[in-house]
Structures are given as C-alpha cells and as structure tokens.
C-alpha cells in the first residue's frame, strides 16, 4: 500500500520517472492525484512528455483534460480579482491578495495547474465594515446566515462569514488577519500590512516573500487539519524553491517567523517539505528553525500522523492508520484554533445541528 501511495509523490518529485509507469500504475496515480487535488499540477509537470508522446495515449487524455480545467480556473480567478478591485475602488490599495489569488496574479509557481475554490483577500480590521458593505451592495451575499455562524466568524475567527456572488456563484473570503483571533498563535496584522509588496498593474498588494511562506505554513500546520494537505505542501515546496533565488530570503524567513510568533508552523513546513518532497533547505536555516520544534514525544507523534495524513486520499492506496491520523490532526487543528471551553461548546453545537 505504501508503495502505491508513493507513486504520486514519485511523479511529483521526478516527473521523468513517471514515463516508466505501467498503465495500472498510472490508473492508481491519476486517481490519487485527483483525490489530492494535484492532477492539474501533475499534468503541467508532465506537459513536455505528453506532447512528445512519451506517455501512453489513454493517460495523455486525462492529463490534457486536467490542464484544460486548470486553465479555465485561472481565467475565472483573474476575472474575479478584477471584479473585486473594481468594487473596492480606492480601498483596494489597502487590500492584500492571499494564497491562490496572489500566486496567479504574481505569476508564482504554485499557480501552475491550480484549482480554485474561492478568492481570499485581507483588509485592515478598521476597513472591514466598509469593504463588506461595498461587496454586499454589488452582488455578493452571505452563505452562512444563522446567528451563531455570524457570531462565530465575527467574534472568534480571522475573517468575515464567507461570501458568494449571487450571479457568478464564486466565493470570496475577506480576512483581517491570517489566523483566528481565538487561536494560540496570533501574528500582528499590522506587521503583515507594513511589509506587503505592491504589484504592477493593480491596486492590490501581496504578502512579502517570507510572510507568504509563513502564511502557507500557518494555514497548513496551525489552522488546517491536513485533509488534502499534499496540495498545500507542494505550494510550500514551490515557494521555497522559487524564493531561494532571492538574496537574503532564508535569513528573513526565520527572522520573520520569530517576529510573528510562527516558528512552530515554519519548523513543520521546512521539516515535511524536505522529508516528503525533497525540498532543499540550507542546513543553517534548519538549525535556526529547530527552536520552533515541539517536545520530542510530540514531534514523534506529528511525524507519524503527518506521514500518514498526507498519503493521497484514495481508498485503495491509504496507508495503515491514515484515517486515524487525519482524525487526530482534525482534532488538533480545532484545539489550536479555540480554547477548550469554547471548543467544547462549538463542537457540541455542531453535533446537535448534524443530529437535526
């Protein structure tokens, strides 16, 4: 089973090796890639091989279809970014594009073959009411309307309740910081805005290079449950390899991790991108980041859980213990997001709602 699961990792790390896959191996690899939301990414990595006929015709059809879907997702994302900029007007100058929207607008490597579920932006908390009003007046609507859901987002989370456009049905998340207000790690948003980088051709800005990596790391290892986390891990791999070319990036990355209080998720990001995807991390950076390491027993548990949870989400390829690992990391993500009393009330309410 582990060998089957490693087919996808092997193809992502060494696309040329995928040319030797048998059709049965391709069948498993494509299913795992689709479940892990990286099939389009894999297709772009194998584009030269598919166009030259090195990969069997039945496989090429799947990979070509995945690229067509990804191209359409990118067009939609670019259109949505322009529409939000048009609606916000001058307020867009204080607005930061996050995650996928930033990747595609800046032309960063994680944008290749990316599928988008929503558009994420971040605005100063002092402007969030004005931004919300402008969006509601221009076609966006709240998805979660129950009073508890509204209070949950507005009082404890790092974003407004999700918005969806009434006509285009595209989703928009409006953040005012990058981690929940009720969570254990709360990086100062003012520092993020101060270091944000402008982009040519748009009023929007993006996080600085170091902050972009730290946000991705925090999203995966602090605020997320690692379900479907392989796609997010490949994002981190892409960003680290790309920003490696920037002078001073690595020193700045660790220093920002210390300043923003995000050394723990940064440690996890560097550890697991290197172990799973072979990301080259300078030894001096690894040593500095180890100050964010958890106690030895906790690290051993995380190593065990992460290696299984990041197994591609395909039933026939799941490694033993993968289901329990994902459950453990799901519980962990909620524990990090809320204090125990608030978490108990929240989970109890969700359980009652499901029962009804």
| Tens-digit pLDDT string for the chain (356 aa) | 345 458 899 999 999 888 889 999 999 899 989 988 999 999 999 988 887 778 888 999 999 999 999 999 999 999 999 999 999 999 999 999 999 999 999 999 999 999 998 999 999 999 999 999 999 999 999 997 788 888 888 988 999 999 999 999 999 999 999 999 888 899 999 999 999 999 988 999 999 999 999 999 999 998 766 767 899 999 999 999 999 999 999 999 999 999 999 999 999 999 999 999 999 999 999 999 999 999 999 999 999 888 877 766 554 445 566 677 777 887 787 777 777 777 677 667 766 777 66
Report the alpha-carbon distance of residue 203 to residue 95 in Å, rounded.
8
| Nearby residues of 348 by Cβ (< 8 Å), 6 or more positions away | none
Name the 3-class secondary structure at 172: strand
Contacts 24+ apart (CB under 8 A), 25-31: 26/55, 26/56, 26/58, 26/59, 28/4, 28/314, 28/316, 28/317, 30/59, 30/62, 31/314, 31/316, 31/317
Can you give the pLDDT at residue 124? 96
Report the alpha-carbon distance of residue 272 to residue 221 in Å, rounded.
10
Can you give the pLDDT at residue 1? 39
Can you give the pLDDT at residue 213? 98
pTM of the prediction? 0.90
User: Residue 177 in contact with residue 122, Cβ under 8 Å?
Assistant: yes
Can you give the pLDDT at residue 356? 66
Report the alpha-carbon distance of residue 338 to residue 22 in Å, rounded.
47
Alpha carbon separation from 212 to 79, 118, 238, 352 (Å, rounded): 22, 18, 12, 38
Closest C-alpha to 132, from 101, 176, 98, 197: 176
Closest C-alpha to 99, from 173, 27, 32: 173
Name the 3-class secondary structure at 96: strand
φ and ψ at 186, to 5 degrees? Answer: -135, 80
- Residue 142: which H helix or E strand, with range? strand 140-142
């Amino acid at each position: 089973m582990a060998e089957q699961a490693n087919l996808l990792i092997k193809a992502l790390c060494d696309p040329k090796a995928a040319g030797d896959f048998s059709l049965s191996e391709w069948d498993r690899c494509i299913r795992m890639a689709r479940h892990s939301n990286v099939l389009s990414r894999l297709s772009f990595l194998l584009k030269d091989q598919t166009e030259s006929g090195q990969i069997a015709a039945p496989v090429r059809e799947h990979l070509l279809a995945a690229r067509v879907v990804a191209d359409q997702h990118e067009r939609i994302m670019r259109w949505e970014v322009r529409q939000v900029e048009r609606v916000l007007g001058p307020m867009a100058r204080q607005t930061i594009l996050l995650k996928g929207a930033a990747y595609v607008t800046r032309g960063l490597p994680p944008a290749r073959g990316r599928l988008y579920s929503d558009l994420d932006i971040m605005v100063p908390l002092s402007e969030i009411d004005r931004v919300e009003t402008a969006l509601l007046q221009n076609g966006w609507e709240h998805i979660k309307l129950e009073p508890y859901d509204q209070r949950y987002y507005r009082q404890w989370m790092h974003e407004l309740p999700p918005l969806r456009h009434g006509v285009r049905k595209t989703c928009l998340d409006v953040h005012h910081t990058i981690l929940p207000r009720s969570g254990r790690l709360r990086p100062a948003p003012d520092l993020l805005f101060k270091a944000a980088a402008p982009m040519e051709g748009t009023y929007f800005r993006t996080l600085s290079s170091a902050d972009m990596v730290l946000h991705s790391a925090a999203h995966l290892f602090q605020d997320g449950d690692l379900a479907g986390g392989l796609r997010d891990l490949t994002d981190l791999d892409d960003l680290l390899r790309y920003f490696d070319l920037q002078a001073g990036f690595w020193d700045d990355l660790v220093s920002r991790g210390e300043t923003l209080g995000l050394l723990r998720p940064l440690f996890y990001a560097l550890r697991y991108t290197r172990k799973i995807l072979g990301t080259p991390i300078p030894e001096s950076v690894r040593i500095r980041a180890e100050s964010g390491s958890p106690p030895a027993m906790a690290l051993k548990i995380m190593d065990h859980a992460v290696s299984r949870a990041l197994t591609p989400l395909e039933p026939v390829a799941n490694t033993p213990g993968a289901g329990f690992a994902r459950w453990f990391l799901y519980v962990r993500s909620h524990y990090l997001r809320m204090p125990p009393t608030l978490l108990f009330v929240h989970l109890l309410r969700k359980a009652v709602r499901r029962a009804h």
